Amino acid sequence: MGIKSEETVKQCLDTLKQRQEVLGSSEKQVQLRINASLMLNVTYEAIEQPGRILTREPFKWELTPSKTTYTG
């Protein structure tokens, strides 16, 4: 399920960026340390919605979390 407002997605990432566990971040990404060996990477991107080209908002925004083994 996508999020209709890009502003909502940006607010979610901004909230994550304030956490103590942040290892790094950029405009569209936040990396958080979960524990000694796991890292959570959260990114967002526009997801094109077929059939919505003529509307004001042809995209939905999606937060994409992924777990990675931490080696640093």
Predicted confidence (pLDDT) per residue in 15-65, tens digit: 999 999 999 999 889 999 988 888 988 988 877 766 555 455 556 777 787
What residues does each domain of the chain span? 6-69
DSSP H helical ranges for 1-72? 6-17
Grade residue 2 by pLDDT with cuts at 50, 70 and 90: low
Residue with the bigger pLDDT between 20 and 9: it is 20
**pLDDT reported for residue 56:** 55
pLDDT at 4 over 60: yes
How far is 45 from 15, CA to CA, in rounded Å? 17
Phi, psi of 59 (to 5 degrees): -120, 155
**What's the pTM value of the predicted model, to 2 decimals?**
0.70
pLDDT at 6 over 70: yes
